[in-house]
Amino acid sequence: MFVLKKYFFLFFAVFIISIPCLSYSDSLGEKKLLPRDVIFSDVKDLRVILVDKKKQKLYLLENKDNFFRLIMEFKCSTGKNSGDKVVEGDSKTPEGVYLITGHYTKQYLSPVYGTRALTLDYPNYLDRVQGKNGYNIWIHGTDKEPLEERTTNGCVALANKDIDVLAGYVQVGVTPVIISENTEFLESETDYVEIKGKFSAFFNSWLKSLENGTYHEYLSFYSSDFLPEISWWTDWQKSKKKFDSFSLERSSLNVFRENKGIYAIWFNFFINTDKIKSEFLKRKLFVKYEDGELKIIGDVYVDESKNIVTAANEIKDKVLFKQDVKELINIWAKAWSDKDISIYGNCYSSDFFSEGMNKKLWLKYKDKLNQKYDYIKIDIENPRIEKKGRHVKAVFFQNYESSGFSTKGIKTLVLKKEEGQWRILKESWKETG
């Protein structure tokens, strides 16, 4: 009997040991979750990190069929002091929606950060507007095992084995991290769908106003307490006229709940023309309810050097530069024929040099010819235009006629972009008789 009991307990122990650790995947990923702080995402397989400061838990969720499922959860440690971070040194973990901006392994870190660290973009735009400061808020490992609760200076710490696993599921520049005092999940799928519908409709209307709305229609989406930087609007309207057809299209849309009734809308969008698409533009809107309507209280590009006007100009440079160069050549030829030295001179680069003359000497020479002849007539035919790196080469047949001299030949212009306009850098002439 003793032998049977011995083998029974041995079998039971082996059975228990053989059960896989159910920290994530199958056991946790079956149920649809309706996280209060993730309002909407149409990004397939997007992974989102939720940090619950009250429970000292970190959750990793994945978007499946427009609903989130739990992949894994870990014990974590947040700031020594409770509450939202406000100033540097308060040992509080910030609350809000952040983006993973970097991934560093232990060879680049002090031992206190353990095996690796995921950096966050704290303070983000909203934090800065609200006057919060501080820096180096990370998700990282630890040099103290076992992990204890509420021991950091504001970061989110995990056991080294856990941060090593988590790092394999996140993407720098893509994965959002939502930190809150208490992570909650909604009960009603109907309410969840309704909330998503409101934000989706608001965003689509805003994007439509940017695409073909008026200045006032566009501004109607913004809070009266927030005046967006709008100096680019005139340039955007001019850019649109360059395209035979165009539309603004989004590649992704995410809506997250910030703290204190503010929501963050993260999205990528691009300009789609009949010729070419622009690169993705990454943008964030911050909105809140005012008198029952959503209003924008913050608006920022993730990369400030890439905005809708620069994207439109890049398309023009790639596809429509021939049209712009032809327009410049026509203006140049007409100004020459009209003997308008001011407009003619504006067609030349400040770096122009040809036939031993710089721009100043060249215009002085041309103005002298203008006074010499009663009339000048310039006709150009069949311009061939091609891009050569940062320059453009234009070759065409030119017929020159004046009251005292006439000639025909091949004119070659080399142009460069200067102050947003193509201007002539060099020119040469070959008479054909």
**Domain membership flag for residue 361:** yes
Judge if 292 and 246 occupy the same domain: yes
**Domain membership flag for residue 411:** yes
Judge if 118 and 211 occupy the same domain: no
Contact 58, 158 (CB under 8 A): yes
**Domain membership flag for residue 16:** no
**Domain membership flag for residue 8:** no
**Domain membership flag for residue 141:** yes
Task: Report in angstroms the alpha-carbon separations of 271 from 240, 246, 249, 330.
Answer: 10, 7, 7, 29
What CATH number is given to the structural domain containing 155?
A: 2.40.440.10
Residue range of the domain that includes 269: 189-306
Question: Token pair for residue 32?
Answer: 């649809």
CA atoms within 13 A on the CB side of 426: 10
Structural domain total, the chain: 3
Question: Token pair for residue 365?
Answer: 């020479």
Nearest to 348 by CA among 294, 405, 427: 427
Q: Which residues contact 7 (CB under 8 A, 6 or more apart)?
A: none
Judge if 174 and 47 occupy the same domain: yes
Nearest to 202 by CA among 99, 290, 261, 273: 290
Q: How far apart are CA 331 and CA 338, in angstroms?
A: 10
Contact 166, 121 (CB under 8 A): no
Question: Token pair for residue 278?
Answer: 């622009």
Question: Token pair for residue 149?
Answer: 């609760």
Domain finish residue from 155, 180, 205: 180
Q: What is the pLDDT of residue 28?
A: 52
Judge if 201 and 271 occupy the same domain: yes
Contact 313, 297 (CB under 8 A): no
Tokens 């560093």 found at: 104
**Domain membership flag for residue 2:** no
Contact 58, 273 (CB under 8 A): no
Q: Is the peptide bond before 20 cis (omega within 30 degrees of 0)?
A: no
Judge if 168 and 231 occupy the same domain: no
Q: What is the 3-state secondary structure (H, E, C) of the chain?
A: CHHHHHHHHHHHHHHHHHCCCCCEHHHCCCCCECECCEEEECCCCCEEEEEECCCCEEEEEEEECCEEEEEEEEECECECCCCCCCCCCCCCCCCEEEEEEEEEEHHHCCHHHCCEEEEECCCCHHHHHCCCCCCCCEEECCCCCCCCCCCECCCEECCHHHHHHHHCCCCCCCCEEEEECCCCECCCHHHHHHHHHHHHHHHHHHHHHHHHCCHHHHHCCECCCCCCCCCCHHHHHHHHCCCCCEEEEEEEEEEEECCCCEEEEEEEEEEEECCCECCCEEEEEEEEEECCEEEEEEEEECCCCCCHHHHHHHHHHHHHHHHHHHHHHHHHHHHHHHCCHHHHHHCECCCCEECCEEHHHHHHHHHHHHHHCCCEEEEEEEEEEEEECCEEEEEEEEEEEECCCEEEEEEEEEEEEECCEEEEEEEEEEECC
**Domain membership flag for residue 17:** no
Contact 150, 78 (CB under 8 A): yes
Judge if 173 and 252 occupy the same domain: no
Judge if 149 and 217 occupy the same domain: no
Strand order in the sheet with 96-105: 67-75, 57-64, 47-52, 176-180, 96-105, 116-120, 138-140, 156-157
pLDDT by residue for the chain (433 residues), tens digit each?
Answer: 434 444 444 444 433 333 333 333 334 566 778 898 998 898 989 999 999 999 999 999 999 877 899 999 999 999 999 999 999 999 999 999 999 999 999 999 999 999 999 999 999 999 999 999 999 999 999 999 899 999 999 999 999 999 999 999 999 999 999 999 999 888 778 877 888 889 999 999 999 999 999 999 999 999 999 989 899 999 999 888 878 788 999 989 999 998 778 999 999 999 998 778 898 999 999 999 999 999 999 999 998 888 999 998 888 777 778 888 999 999 999 999 999 999 999 999 999 999 899 999 999 999 999 999 999 999 999 899 998 888 999 999 999 999 989 999 999 999 999 988 999 999 999 998 6
Judge if 161 and 42 occupy the same domain: yes
Judge if 207 and 118 occupy the same domain: no
Q: Which residues contact 171 (CB under 8 A, 6 or more apart)?
A: 47, 100
Q: How far apart are CA 256 and CA 432, in angstroms?
A: 69
Q: What is the pLDDT of residue 67?
A: 84
Judge if 74 and 169 occupy the same domain: yes
Q: Residue 351 phi/psi, 5° resolution?
A: -95, 10
**Domain membership flag for residue 4:** no
Q: How far apart are CA 275 and CA 213, in angstroms?
A: 23
Domain finish residue from 158, 180, 202: 180
Judge if 67 and 212 occupy the same domain: no
Judge if 38 and 163 occupy the same domain: yes
Domain finish residue from 132, 157, 180: 180
What CATH number is given to the structural domain containing 390?
A: 3.10.450.50
